[in-house]
Amino acid sequence: MKYGLLIINCIILAIGTCGGPLLTRLYYNNGGKRIWFMSFLSTAGFPIILIPLFVSFLNRRRCNRKNVANAAKTELFLMETPLFVASIVIGLLSGLDNYLYSYGLAYLPVSTSSLIVGTQLAFNALFSFLLVKQKFTPFSINAVVLLTVGTGILALHSDGDKPANESHREYVIGFLMTLIAAVLYAFILPLVELTYKKARQEITFQLVLEIQMVMCLAATGFCVVGMFIVGDFKVIAKEAREFKIGGPVFYYALIVITGIIMQGFSLGAIGVVFCASSLASGVLISVLLPVTEVLAVVCFREKFQAEKGVSLFLSMWGFVSYFYGEFKSGKKVVVDKPQQPETELPTLPVRDFAA
């Protein structure tokens, strides 16, 4: 069940990592200008989490009915107050990060934005070591180095990619905003893992869904306040009418699809932290950035220099190195584990994924 959840979250994260920037840039390229609105879309799809939460509730209630004494004790939500407060704090940080990233993407090409976001892996490794005492193997160190170098290679020919309609000042501010967003998100992922470790209650998949919903709700609320302040709600209809391709119909369809895809990125990233680690989530995001580069070349006709091909190769190499190291480590744990007497039943720590 754990590996199944990990695969599902990896797929969701991959779709969000590659599709989110492309759809966001498509919005900006065709007349969209509402930065707070795009920040809002990053987590506005959180109500979809209510579906698996409700299914989980029905499942727990059905199980409790078998025990008359527990029949009336089925709770809709399992989260306790300390975890609720921590989720709100992380959600507000995520809302700020969404705004910084959306701001940067408004003034940068997708390729340059991906280049800057790629630096988050080095910071992710540092914060993982400081916050959750992440243990590094030669394979994981090799992966971090390869992915960081692969991202750095993209910088060799990144000059001259400033959009023609953007000023130098806007380009520089967008660059700095994206860099801050990358560092902040590199901090958020280990912070989520630390929250799991410090929680006073057992972290089950049901509880992870609740944490994700509270985080997304807080992040969405943060962006809604920003939208009210700058007046985004007053101009969305006008922006839809003036959208360059497809008119209002295409505009609203793009908004809905973008919201779903970007919500998937948030859910997938936090889900990978639960199933594996914050470093694993950072590695997966980094290895997908060159893929986003290739898609940007196809969709927006951005230049594909040889450096991008080398970066893609190094990223894939780092990705394989990391997960091969994880496989070797897991296999070694199984082999080295002392066998218990046959008269005793083995006791293994099992997370409640069925919940």
**83: how many CB neighbours lie within 10 A of its CB?**
21
Q: 231 by DSSP, 3-state: which?
A: coil
Report d(CA 325, CA 140) in Å as an integer: 7
pLDDT at 341: 44
- Note whether 32 and 38 are within 8 A (CB): yes
In whole angstroms, what separates CA 9 from the centre of its chain? 10
User: Contact, 201 vs 77, CB < 8 A?
Assistant: no
Give the pLDDT of residue 329. 64
Alpha carbon distance 229, 224 (integer Å): 9
- Asked if 285 contacts 120 with a C-beta cutoff of 8 angstroms, the reply is yes
Whole-prediction pTM value?
A: 0.82
Burial class for 288, CB neighbours closer than 10 Å (0-12, 13-18, 19+): buried
Q: Which residues of 220-254 are buried (b: 16+ CB within 10 A; e: fewer)?
A: bbbbbebbeeeebeeebeebbeebeeeeeeebeeb
The domain locations on the chain are 2-67+84-332
pLDDT one-digit tens code per residue, 34-61: 999 999 999 998 888 888 888 888 887 7
Cβ neighbours of residue 111 under 8 Å, at least 6 residues apart? 154, 158, 161, 293, 296, 297, 302, 303, 308
What integer pLDDT is reported at residue 303 of this predicted model? 62
DSSP 256: H
The rounded percent of the chain whose pLDDT value lies above 90 is: 29
- The rounded distance, in Å, linking the Cα atoms of 306 and 308 is 5
Residue 50 · residue 325 · CB < 8 Å: no
**Residues in the chain with pLDDT < 70?**
1, 66-74, 150-152, 154-165, 301-305, 307-308, 311-312, 315, 319, 323, 326-355
Q: Using CA atoms, how far apart are residues 125 and 253, in angstroms rounded to an integer?
A: 38
- Per the CB < 8 A criterion, the answer to whether 146 and 315 are in contact is yes
Instruction: Kindly list the distances between the CA atom of residue 102 and the CA atoms of 90, 195, 326, 333, in Å, as whole numbers in the listed order.
Output: 18, 26, 33, 42
User: 């025990």: which residue's tokens?
Assistant: 67
The structure tokens 């992966």 sit at: 143
Query: How far is C-alpha 154 from the geometric centre of its chain's CA atoms?
Result: 22
> Distance (Å, rounded) from C-alpha 289 to C-alpha 117?
8
CA distance 171 to 104: 8
At 203 the pLDDT is: 86
Mean pLDDT, the chain, rounded, equals: 80
* pLDDT of 335: 46
Looking at residue 163, what is its pLDDT? 64
